[in-house]
Amino acid sequence: MKQIIIVLVALISLIACQNKAQETVNEEATNQSLDVQNMTHEEAMQLVKVKEHNVKNVGILVYEGVNDLDALGPRYVFKNIMGTNVITIALKPGNVKTVMGLEFVPDTTIAQVDSLDILVVPGGFKKTIENAYNDELLQWIRDIDKTTQYTTSVCTGGWILGKTGLLKGKKATGNWFRAKEILAENGATFTGERYTQDGKYWTSAGVTAGMDMSLAIMAELTGEDYTQAVMLDMEYDLKPPIEGGSVEKTKPEVLYFMKTMYASMADPVFEEMKTIK
């Protein structure tokens, strides 16, 4: 009995010491927090680490039928990089209407752009397939690639980028629909990741993944502190209301429905373009 009492006293003493230590840590953390809160903006800026970069010109390819978020998601992210000029580049003069019906005025055309530091090739659907067989566009991308620090694609934009031959021998990702098959046709290896980097080539999965990729590029260029600030500005802390959003998290019957729907729309266009070529 005496031994049990001794053990209990020892445990109580240990817990008391731990609580005291935790109180000290919490007090120090609170004091540090108060110190930060009392800082001026200029003082706080001195603590935020920002890397220097030499990216000046970012180009987002746009075309009739482009997916809204494929193009505008990366645009929003890259517009937050200080010192960069971000432009939308169309195939020809005139307004562009997205796959969801948003109409906007591009900044310029491919005929007016001969160099970029970052190129983003977004996806869509029918028009994306057609542009994957557009020789003028494919050659423009190859030429621009000679000047880029980053050549990227979002979603089915990888179908276009793949057709240039630039992804041959590279690891890449893209929209889940026949991703492995379509990338393999262009000599690339499908990773299945949200985004993938292979050298200067960055590719992302569908739509929202383009923002993940763009933020990852931002982090490489400007550092984690600056990127975290931009993420806070965006409140980029994703919490989907239900499980889903990937092949692995989607019910088999829903996945099958989506596969057959995509195939019914894509196959006729693929066949038409192959016949024309």
CA distance 145 to 253: 41
CA distance 128 to 125: 5
Q: Between the CA of residue 253 and those of 96, 135, 249, 256, what are the distances in Å?
A: 35, 38, 12, 5
Rounded to whole angstroms, the maximal C-alpha distance in the chain is: 94
Between strands 85-90 and 57-61, the pairing is parallel
Judge whether 155 counts as a catalytic residue: yes
CA distance 122 to 158: 8
Alpha carbon distance, N-terminus to C-terminus of the chain: 92
| Active-site residue (options: 86, 141, 155, 231) | 155
Backbone angles phi, psi at 108, to 5 degrees: -160, -170
Quickly list DSSP for 163-230.
Answer: HTTTTTT-EE---STTHHHHHHHTT-EE--SSEEEETTEEEE-STTHHHHHHHHHHHHHH-HHHHHHH
Q: Is residue 133 classed as helix, strand or coil in its secondary structure?
A: coil
245 in the Ramachandran plot: left (φ > 0), alpha (ψ -120 to 50) or beta? left
Q: Please, what is the Cα angle at 163 between 160 and 166, to 5 degrees?
A: 100
What residues are labeled active site?
155
